[in-house]
Structure 1
Amino acid sequence: MTKKEILVAFSAGESPALGNIWRITAKKTDFYLDPHAEVEAIHLSAHGPNSEQSEGHRFHVRVDRKAAARIDASGDFISHTIPRKGRAFSGEELAPGVFRIARIRRVWDLQRPRFLRAAAIPGPLPDISDGRSAARLSKLLPPNGAADVDLVVSYNKPYWPGGQRSLRDQARLGPLRNEAGMWLTATSYQRSQTTHPTPEGLRLPLPKPGEDPNRIMAGAPEDTANGEMYWFVETITSRQFIEASRDRSE
């Protein structure tokens, strides 16, 4: 059976999943990326040609306002500046008809023993059905390291950044194909944040002595020389920083 969905989890060896389990889905002429959660508030979409959009593609990030309100009412923090109808972005063109649309980054702080309890997600893992495949990125990162998953959409055939190296490194996830004839690939990388820094606005402060660690996800677009891609960064900050941010947003 052709796989239509990929689940990607992050851990520290045999630890529970740390941070979100991400879901990558092919549905009709589209692709979707979102955190697998009981309440799903944000998703990134890549729309291919269809009856409403006869040619070309559209990349888009959207927040479900009702879901966001439920998350906020539960005591968790969510804040964003995405317009009600969502935000379109161009994608980073890597080659003709090839676009890097997103990067999911998990930083090494999630794996640090002092933060493991705060980073672990509660509840059972999702089921793996015939239409799903799954990957767990469990290798321990060095200090200041990051585990990245880059998502690329292409026409005509799957595209893997780095060519055969990603095959030798067993870093490939997918590919998925939609009904518009487009392909989506995901490639995992281990990178240094010194040489491949997290965008400035997505680097959040770690807990100070006496503060309570808390897992958080931040996201934003980044301009590159060849277009715009979207970042999702999972990291650790303090509950005190989150509460102060909540106060400023009200």
Structure 2
Amino acid sequence: MTIKEILVAFTAGDSPALGNIWRITAKKSDFYLDPHATVEAFHLSAHGPNGDHPDGHRFHVRVDRKAAAAIQAQGDFISHKIPRKGRALNGEELAPGVFRIARIRWLWDLQRPRFRQAARLPGPLPDVSSNRSAARLSRILAPNRAADLDLIVSYNEPYWPDERNSLRDKARLGPLRNESGMWLTATSYQRSQTAHPTPEGLALPLPKPGEDPNRIMGGAPEDGAAGDMYWFVEGVTSRQFIEASRSEQEG
């Protein structure tokens, strides 16, 4: 049976999902990454060579503006600066024909007992069907650590960074293969936020005493000497911070 989609959840042991459940999909000549939701506002895509683009691949992040408006209308907060046609990415080239395109990071605050209820994902869990697999990142993090999932697209064969360690630690998800012959792999890590800091602007302030905790997800590209990849960071902030941000956006 060929797996075309992988769902990934972050938990605290056997707790419900904390933050979004993420979906990684192979469809025709493309790969897609997005949070599984009733209203899907954005996605990251990796398009392989096809009839429209026979000479190479394209990576980019896009926002569905109608879906974003629907999310706002139902009272949730969403803000972005992604252009209408999307934000193109080069990918971080790790080797010839091998590109790290995204990192999903779940901050340890999601697992802290004082924030766990606010971090829970509301609504029913998605089904796991015949062509879909699921993974749960459930190990308890030490303070100031993060659970990362790195997504890599490659030509010719699957690529696993830290090949021996990822196999030993059972840290691999996938691979997925699309119709253009490209592969996508995902590898999970636990990293120190001191040694591997969250990009500036994506680590939002935690609730102050008396404030109401609220889960939040942010995203931004990170540029480096080898190219760029996109970060998605799941964390906790306060409802008061969100409302202040909403007022700034509307003002």
Inter-partner Cα distance in structure 2 for 1:162 and 1:4: 24
The CA distance in 2 between the partners of 1:116 and 1:180, in whole Å, is 41
1:163 positional shift: 1.4
Q: Is the 8 A contact 1:217 1:232 kept in 2?
A: yes
2:53 and 2:133 map into 1 onto residues whose CA distance is 30
Cα RMSD after superposing both structures: 0.5
TM-score (norm 2): 0.99
* Deviation (angstroms), 1:125: 1.0
1:129 corresponds to which letter in structure 2?
A: S
Task: Name the SS of the counterpart of 2:201 in structure 1.
Answer: helix
Pairwise CA distance, 1:53: 0.5
Which residue does 2:88 correspond to in 1? 88
CA-to-aligned-CA distance 1:142-182 (integer Å, 9 cap, x gap): 00010000000000000001111100010000000000000
Matching of residues 33-44 of structure 1 within 5 Å? 33-44=33-44
Give the structure 1 partner of residue 115 of structure 2.
Answer: 115
Q: Secondary structure at the match of 1:23?
A: strand
SS of aligned partner of 2:154? strand
Report the CA distance between 1:21 and its aligned residue: 0.3
Find out whether 1:195 has 2:195 as its counterpart: yes
User: Following the alignment from structure 2 to structure 1, what is the Cα–Cα distance between the partners of residues 246 and 123?
Assistant: 26
Name the structure 2 match of 1:127. Answer: 127
Gaps spanning 5+ residues in structure 1: where? none
Mapped pair 1:248 → 2:241:
no
Aligned equivalents of 1:146, 1:54: Cα separation in 2 = 38
- Assess if the C-alpha contact under 8 Å between 1:48 and 1:55 holds in 2: no
Structure-1 residue corresponding to 2:163: 163
**Quick one: which amino acid aligns to residue 121 of structure 1?**
L
What is the aligned partner in structure 2 of residue 46 from structure 1? 46
- Give 1:81 deviation, angstroms: 0.3
Map 1:1-250; keep pairs closer than 5 Å. 1-250=1-250
- What residue identity is the alignment partner of 2:240? Q
Question: Within 2, Cα distance between the matches of 1:181 and 1:55?
Answer: 14
The aligned length equals 250
Displacement of 1:224 in angstroms is: 1.3
Letter in 2 for 1:175: P
Q: Distance in 2 between matches of 1:94 and 1:54?
A: 23
Q: What SS does structure 2 have at the residue aligned with 1:83? A: coil
5+ residue gaps, structure 2, are none
Moved more, 115-124 or 149-158: 115-124
Matches of 1:220 and 1:25, distance apart in 2: 21
Misfit runs of 4+, over 4 Å: none
CA distance, structure 2, for counterparts of residue 73 and residue 16 of structure 1: 27
Deviation per residue, 1:166-212 (Å, 9 max, x gap): 00010000000000000000000001101000001111000000000
Q: In structure 2, what is the Cα distance between the partners aligned to 1:42 and 1:104?
A: 14
**TM-score by structure 1 length?**
0.99
Which whole-Å deviations, capped at 9, do the CAs of 1:220-246 have from their partners, x for residues lacking one? 000112000000000000000000001
Contact 1:41 1:68 in 2 (8 A): yes
SS in 2 for 1:201: coil
